[in-house]
Amino acid sequence: MNGAVEGIRLRGLHKRYGATVALAGLDLDIRPGEVLGVAGPNGAGKSTLIRIIAGEERPDGGELAFNGSAWTPSVDWRAVAVVHQEPQLFPNLTIAENVLVGREGTRIGRPWLSGGDAKVMKAFGIDRYANTLLGDCSLATQQRAEIARAVARDAQVFLFDEPNSALTDEESDELFREMHKLAADGRIVLLVTHRLGDLFEHANRVAVIRDGQVRAILEGDALTEDGIAQELVVGRGDETSAKGPAAIGQDRCVLVAIDDWSHSAGAFRAISLEANPGEIIALIGVEGAGARELLRSFGGLESCSGTIEIAGETGDMAQRLTAYVPATRTLSLYSNLSVGENVLARLGEPDIAGFGMALKKRRMRQLANEAIRRFSIRAYAASQGIRSLSGGNQQKVAIAQALNCAPRLLLLEEPTRGVDIHSKREIYRLLRDFVGANNTVIMFCTEVLEVYEAADRAHVVVEGGLSPAITVHDYAHIEALATDIARMQRHGPHDLVNGATRASLP
């Protein structure tokens, strides 16, 4: 056990952010020479783990060891390189300068490319771009420059954080080749991604993180996409309390009808979708599959062609009946306003203002307090600053704000990301109440768990296409749903999987 263990040893890592526990005693061994995959639902602690290994955060407790000796990444950060989906480099410098930057401290003059650096750049195929500005290069080239920069400074640990979500297939293949090369050189390689297929194909082992701990390590025969998909959701299937009535009335009048809906930048093509009142529909897809853009497009936030009809209105008027809530609360809330003001921010005349645009202060207080009660927002007063609320309560404020302008179609992007379980249930209950009043919710999810707990119907978005409907109520276990969704993501949208999946579209 002890002695000179090769690689990184993490024992009992703890990290809290305020009331949120991000890591709850995480143990993990990362060996040199292998690609270790890391999977986990949003908020499971993956990004905290990466930040700790990269030295961007210190753990509250626990031990880190590197090659057998205690290790503080925040001091010894040069050993670690993080490759993000958005390269963290200097777009105003050339590729060569980017490789050099950070090492100029040893000389008075300008640093220059040594023979070793040139070799590294050649090895990563970026030598011909040496004098091109980084900002002018493609994302894939920028990522290669980021890796080359780390190799040139002799980093031993490489953390890949969703590295290929914005790359083409060829570019991803190229990236994975580099990744394997790094591992073959005896470096430590960690790959964090939502794409189960990539984990299956490229990782030697996959650690599944849930609730701040490593819950399973899959390797060998156990390492399959279905295996990962099931581990991601295992033990979570009992949280289905917010499920609405399975039978949606027989009067299948259509509230939302979308036809031949195509994105002008090509994120999705020729989508048709119908939604009934009382329905919660989930669009599930990995980053870059087009699901997020599709959701935004229903609210008129992307430029699209095709027809959209909501409650008898078409085009622009239809989109006015939607309300969109982005995934990040920094995009939906006003940090300078109070809880009450945030709840009312989308309202106008005549709700909160009367003659001469004068605010109806008493009416506003009344509406705000009403909303705080109705949406179970835990605030001691409507005048409380929004930043003092917990993440879950902030999200309730964001949804309350959107619902206040009486939409018929609510568009939610990952509605419970970073939200505690208690608030999550309440949010699902609010959505049920909302669709219960003859409205519709369409939400973009990346987690099967969310689909299982909240949605009536799910569509997988793969490469800009929409899968046939999956009726969530047909699944008794979340594992089966996770397997089917993973399969659809693997094989593309037009593959009917089993009896549980049926086409609902004419």
Partner 1 sequence: MISADSREPVPTEAARSSLSSTGQATFDLALRMGGLFLAIVLVALLMFVLKPNSFNVDVGISVLRAMSSVAIMSLGLTLVIVVGEIDLSFGAMYGLGANSLAVMWILLSIPIYAALPLAIGVGAMVGLFNGALVTWLSIPSFIVTLGSYNLLYGVSLWITKTSTFNPVYPPPGSEIPPAELDFFTGLTASFGSHPISLEVVWMLGLALIVGFLLHRTLFGFRLMAIGGNPVAAALARLPVTRYKILAFVICGMLAATAGILDFSFIQTTQPNIGLSYTFPVFAAVIIGGASLSGGKGTVVGAMSGALLLAELQQGLALLSPGPHVQQLFLGFVTIGAVALDLALTNIRKRRAA
Question: At its nearest, how many Å lie between partner 1 and the CB of residue 311?
Answer: 17
Question: At its nearest, how many Å lie between partner 1 and the CB of residue 385?
Answer: 5
DSSP state of 443: E
Question: At its nearest, how many Å lie between partner 1 and the CB of residue 301?
Answer: 7
Using the rule CB under 8 A, which residue among 105, 115, 220, 356 binds partner 1?
A: 356
Question: At its nearest, how many Å lie between partner 1 and the CB of residue 387?
Answer: 7
Q: Do 260 and 246 form a contact (C-beta atoms < 8 A)? A: no
Binding residues among 181-220 for partner 1 as defined by CB under 8 A: none
Q: Distance between CA 337 and CA 70 in Å, rounded? A: 46
Question: At its nearest, how many Å lie between partner 1 and the CB of residue 386?
Answer: 8
- Work out whether 349 is an interface residue with partner 1 (CB under 8 A): yes
Angstrom distances, CA of residue 312 to CA of 78, 253, 309, 321, 506:
60, 11, 6, 11, 20
Nearer to partner 1, 309 or 351 (CB): 351
Nearer to partner 1, 398 or 458 (CB): 398
Binding residues among 123-182 for partner 1 as defined by CB under 8 A: none
Nearer to partner 1, 390 or 471 (CB): 390
Question: At its nearest, how many Å lie between partner 1 and the CB of residue 396?
Answer: 12
Question: At its nearest, how many Å lie between partner 1 and the CB of residue 341?
Answer: 6
Which residue from 481, 457, 478 is spatially nearest to 469, judged by alpha carbons?
A: 457
- Work out whether 18 is an interface residue with partner 1 (CB under 8 A): yes
Using the rule CB under 8 A, which residue among 184, 254, 270, 359 binds partner 1?
A: 359
Q: What is the sign, positive or negative, of the torsion defined by CA atoms of 46, 52, 57, 59?
A: positive
Torsion angle of alpha carbons 228, 232, 234, 236, nearest 10°?
Answer: -160
Nearer to partner 1, 26 or 411 (CB): 411
Nearer to partner 1, 107 or 373 (CB): 373
Nearer to partner 1, 247 or 358 (CB): 358
Question: At its nearest, how many Å lie between partner 1 and the CB of residue 191?
Answer: 31
Helix axes 115-123 and 139-152, enclosed angle (nearest 10): 140
Question: At its nearest, how many Å lie between partner 1 and the CB of residue 323?
Answer: 8
Which residue from 281, 321, 320, 328 is spatially nearest to 443, judged by alpha carbons?
A: 281
User: Distance between terminal CA atoms of the chain?
Assistant: 62
Binding residues among 367-386 for partner 1 as defined by CB under 8 A: 368-369, 372-374, 376, 378-386
Nearer to partner 1, 248 or 405 (CB): 405
Q: Do 446 and 474 form a contact (C-beta atoms < 8 A)? A: no
- Work out whether 365 is an interface residue with partner 1 (CB under 8 A): yes
> CB pairs under 8 A, 24+ apart, for 122-131?
123/148, 123/151, 124/148, 124/151, 124/178, 126/95, 129/95, 130/94, 130/95, 130/96, 131/94, 131/95, 131/96
Nearer to partner 1, 85 or 390 (CB): 390
Nearer to partner 1, 96 or 430 (CB): 430
Q: How many CB atoms lie within 10 A of CB 109?
A: 6
- Work out whether 20 is an interface residue with partner 1 (CB under 8 A): no
- Residue 381: burial class (beta carbons within 10 Å; 0-12, 13-18, 19+): exposed
Q: Binding segment for partner 1 among 50-58, 112-120, 303-311, 365-373 (CB under 8 A)?
A: 365-373
Q: Distance between CA 450 and CA 55 in Å, rounded? A: 31
Three-state secondary structure call for residue 30: strand
Question: At its nearest, how many Å lie between partner 1 and the CB of residue 318?
Answer: 14
Q: What is the sign, positive or negative, of the torsion defined by CA atoms of 336, 341, 345, 350?
A: negative
Torsion angle of alpha carbons 348, 349, 350, 351, nearest 10°?
Answer: 10
Geometric angle at alpha carbon 67, from 44 and 48, rounded to 5°: 15
Binding residues among 281-320 for partner 1 as defined by CB under 8 A: 301, 320
Which residue from 295, 347, 290 is spatially nearest to 324, judged by alpha carbons?
A: 295
Q: What is the per-residue binding string for partner 1 in 392-411, x denoting contact by CB under 8 A?
A: ---------xx--x------
Q: What is the per-residue binding string for partner 1 in 426-455, x denoting contact by CB under 8 A?
A: x-----------------------------
Angstrom distances, CA of residue 330 to CA of 336, 391, 394, 398:
12, 11, 10, 10
Peptide bond into 350 cis (omega under 30): yes
Question: At its nearest, how many Å lie between partner 1 and the CB of residue 198?
Answer: 31
Q: Distance between CA 23 and CA 44 in Å, rounded? A: 8
Binding residues among 318-347 for partner 1 as defined by CB under 8 A: 320, 324, 326, 330-338, 340-341, 345-346
- # chain residues binding partner 1, by CB under 8 A: 50
Using the rule CB under 8 A, which residue among 348, 436, 477, 505 binds partner 1?
A: 348
- Work out whether 264 is an interface residue with partner 1 (CB under 8 A): no
CA atoms within 13 A on the CB side of 409: 31
List residues near partner 1 by CB under 8 A. Answer: 18, 301, 320, 324, 326, 330-338, 340-341, 345-346, 348-349, 352-353, 356-359, 361, 364-365, 368-369, 372-374, 376, 378-388, 401-402, 405, 426
